[in-house]
Structure 1
Amino acid sequence: MCRRLKQYLEKKDSILDLLSYLEKKPKEQKIKSIKIAIFSQSGNTQIFTPLLAKALLKSYSIDHKIQMKSSNVKIVDTITHFNPTHIIFIGFLETELSTYYQLLRILKKTTKPYNIILSGFPQYHTKIQQFKSQFSTLNITNCKHIVEGICQVLTNSPEKKTFKQQKVFTLTPDPKRNLYQPSKPAIPISADFQPKIKLDFKPEELWHLINPKTLYTLHLGYKGNFIKNLSKKIPSAIILNNLVNETKDELLNNNSLNPKAKWQCFKCQNIKNHIVIFNHEESKILDKWSFPIEKSPPFRHIPAYFSKETMDIITLFVTTIGSSIKQQLNYYFKTKQYQKMCIAQALAMQTAEALAEKVHSQIRQFLNINHNKINAHNDLSYQGRRYSFGYAACPDLSYQKKLFKLLKPKEIGISLTNSFTMNPEGSVSGFVTHHPDSVYFSVSDKAN
């Protein structure tokens, strides 16, 4: 029954092929022996994830319930009344480990042999193994993503062990290490520390900043050099290009993308390898940020890019494409235009990233550092870098709360969930360094 579904998972362009297949295939005869419940406790899953799961389950005529951002009480209540044969949990952040543990304890007390699948949790291999041994009656398995999880249910395929050990980050300096010391550049002179809000961005002005390889190859699964094949008038490239342009026009006509941004400069100083942030009168400490250090030479860490002797400048920013994209995605789903749904999701995420790069350029213009260059296609020749919490150089996502407290982005409609992810989902936040030696790096064991 699911042989073709399994084939899609093995192909590079699996998502678009799968969506095209679901658009055309007739409904299967209802599978009465399977009932699937899908839950997420936080808002950290992409909009596309539940829509794809719903389309897939509907196509195979399987009874299902899908609940996003559900509490333990709601999850248990749904399981009790719906009585699913399989339960799939999407998204798994470190801040939710105790919550999932409590939920599994509740399910264990029911004495029912639930089949539980943990989807998309590769970094928590050790914790999942503990769950399996402690809650053996629940038959806990795991998978890489939601499509594989559903496929696992339908085909009863064996569990795939594709996990790596969770990374442990060094938060305190080792006295035996000589920490990275960059050069001492001139500090930009900025007399304006007032917040800046910009609401008049146009999506079509941002799309030229999107890297075609990222959009067409990574997100849409195109095989080969898209730009080269399009210039050679290869049919596959022409068809995809027409579909993307058609989707762009529909997004513009329906005002589905509403880019806006807020940013602000703050005075700061590197004090004992922490970034201490002050008000612009330098009379009050607003916050102190700590950052991990590389585990191998040159032992870089972000505070090194800020001055120890005098006041420096750090710029915080947040951008969003708004929440209207959800309506367009739901429309594509209801009308079974799954390919356009996937393209719209990819365009939304890439537009959000392009907007962040555009704002970064404007911040550099304000600081008078290489503002004429924009990282359109991974060109990093300009001075300064922008970092976001949850990524390689500063992996602690909980620092989002500190950034939001200082910047107050609710003015442009952005809020923070309990798991420190942003709502709407097409949002980017971070901070900018002006130091000419600043680079992107990773604090994990993995090579940078």
Structure 2
Amino acid sequence: DVATDNPVPAPPFWGTRVVKGIQQADYASWLDEGALFKGQWGLKAPRGSGPSYEDLVATEGRPRLRGLLDRLRTGNLLEAAVVYGYFPCVSKGDDLIVLGDDGAERTRFTFPRQRRGRRLCLADFFRAEDSGETDVVGFQIVTVGSRIGEATAELFAADSYREYLELHGLSVQLAEALAEYWHARVRAELGYGGEDPAEIEDMFALKYRGARFSLGYGACPDLEDRAKIAELLEPERIGVKLSEEFQLHPEQSTDAIVIHHPEAKYFNAR
């Protein structure tokens, strides 16, 4: 029941581009404070009497965050970079087929399908091969570089565990912030960025058009597919390598399949 008559946007270019030297101020505003304070730092109000969570955020969370961001900036510990691109594609059953310049198959992703409910599969959000139309898919890999990982390793080696956990948690969330920031750039380049909500909280609630699906989760759980994205994007150009276990290095890096279809939202296929 996925719509097949949604307009296919025209990308500003075909192939890939590398962007380096992205300024911290550009993507730090996309930092999800809730995910950082609660998920990474474990900030929570005590049971019974005591300060509320909002009070703790104001007195502990945000001051500590500002201090760490200043340290990252003055110490030049962030090397934010992106490699991304747009590729023609079609779908066939559960497969997303990425096409080359000549229209021939370049690579293929096979995604799992839900066994109940809407029986969704990521391939459903692209034009079918037999439709006579060609769709567009985006891929992106972002990183905040290796220096911040080296800084966290030094804290761990020095038994500075609290500082290590805070800086490591922030580095992971900054990589996510960069990924969200660049996804917004992709939406703008594809012509529907104007549909984005005005409030940042609605951004974190994914109330924008389309979705950014990272490998290893929900609808695309197979990490082996990272090798296909790496072959398309060549992330070594921004200092990111893929391990034999299909993990991205530096750790503070993330990849994604960017889908423009208005109905594309997160779901679990298994």
Shared fold (TM-score, shorter chain, > 0.5): yes
Residue 36 of structure 2: which of 198, 215, 218 is its match? Answer: 215
Structure 1 match to 2:180? 357
Which residue pairs with 2:6 in the alignment? 185
Residue 301 of structure 1, aligned match among 110, 118, 121: 121
Q: Shift of residue 365 of structure 1?
A: 1.1
Structure ID, larger Rg? 1
Letter in 1 for 2:187: R
1:367-407 CA-to-partner distances (Å, cap 9, x unmatched) read 10135637943232221111111100011110101111111
Q: Which residue of 1 aligns with 2:238?
A: 412
Root-mean-square deviation over aligned CA pairs: 2.3
Pairwise CA distance, 1:304? 0.6
Equivalent in the alignment of 1:320: 143
Question: Match for residue 259 of structure 1?
Answer: 80
Structure number with the bigger relative contact order (C-alpha 8 A, sep ≥ 6) is 2
8 Å CA contact retained: 1:229, 1:237: no
Counterpart of 1:201 in structure 2 is 22
Q: Distance in 1 between matches of 2:250 and 2:157?
A: 21
* Distance (whole Å) between structure 2 residues aligned to residue 296 and residue 441 of structure 1: 12
- The alpha-carbon distance between structure 1 residues 183 and 300, as it changes in their structure 2 partners (threshold 3 A), is same
Q: CA deviation at 1:204?
A: 3.2
Kept in 2: contact 1:362–1:371 (CA 8 A): no
Structure 1's 367 and 240: CA in aligned 2 closer, same or farther, altered over 3 A?
A: closer
What are the Cα deviations for residues 219-254 of structure 1, in whole angstroms up to 9, with x where unaligned? 1111149xx95875x5x8524433332222222221
2:202 maps to 1:381? no
Return the alpha-carbon distance in structure 1 between the equivalents of residues 267 and 229 of structure 2. 21
- After TM superposition, the structure 1 = structure 2 runs for residues 42-53 of structure 1, keeping only pairs within 5 Å, are none
Call closer, same or farther: CA 1:365–1:342 in 2, change over 3 Å: same
Q: Which moved more, 1:329-338 or 1:358-367?
A: 329-338
CA distance in 1, matches of 2:99, 2:139: 13
Aligned to 2:100: 279
Q: Deviations over 1:27-47 (max 9, x none)?
A: xxxxxxxxxxxxxxxxxxxxx
1:324–1:372 CA distance, 2 compared to 1 (3 A): farther
Contact 2:2 2:263 in 1 (8 A): no
Displacement, 1:191? Answer: 5.7
Secondary structure of 1:190's counterpart equals coil
Letter in structure 2 aligned against 1:315: G
Task: Please list, as runs of the form range in 1=range in 2, the aligned pairs for 1:3-402 lying within 5 A after superposition.
Answer: 180-190=1-11, 192-224=13-45, 229=52, 232=55, 237-282=58-103, 284-308=104-128, 309=131, 310-370=133-193, 373=196, 376-377=200-201, 378-402=204-228
Number of residue-to-residue matches in the alignment: 260
The 1:183/1:249 distance shift into structure 2, 3 A limit, reads same
SS of residue paired to 1:438: coil
Gap runs ≥5 in structure 1:
1-179
| Residue segments in structure 2 that go unaligned for 5+ positions in a row | none
Moved over 6 A (4+): none
| 1:341–1:181 Cα change, 3 Å | same
**Share of identical aligned residues, percent?**
23
How far off is 1:287 after superposition? Answer: 0.9
